[in-house]
Structure 1
Amino acid sequence: MTDPCQSLTHIEKSCLQSLALGKPVASIAEQYDKCPRKIEGFLQSARRKLTASTNVEAVARAIQLGLIS
């Protein structure tokens, strides 16, 4: 398994950080001038890399690993 600390992209970390702050996917999409589907793709990739089933679990793991605060 690849180390998620090294494999998460900047945009994946940013999307997780925004979720941690309570922003909905639509708001994150506006922030990055992307469609919500693209943001969902980034989050899906982050969940896979963090071996998380849900966005909440991915955010929790990212916090535990010190990837986001």
Structure 2
Amino acid sequence: LPAPGTELTVAGRPVGTLGSTVGTTGLAIARIDRIKAALDVGQSILAGEVPVTLAIPSWAKFSFPQEAVSAEEA
């Protein structure tokens, strides 16, 4: 993964920031509404130029929203 602080983007638009990383696993702060919209339409999420897969950990007290922002906003 890229260095901490790398911007997460969908279709060139910012959706979050990569935090700490260990190997191929990282922690990020991201707009889950925009991530959900991107996932719903199959858009790639990038950390810099690197495609990434985002998941919400099982211990989190939140989940992806049922209704996401439109794909154009993602």
Q: State TM-score, norm by structure 1.
A: 0.31
Q: State TM-score, norm by structure 2.
A: 0.30
Radius of gyration: which is bigger? 2
**Of the two structures, which has the highest relative contact order with CA contacts closer than 8 Å and spacing of 6 or more?**
1
| Structure showing the higher strand proportion among its residues | 2
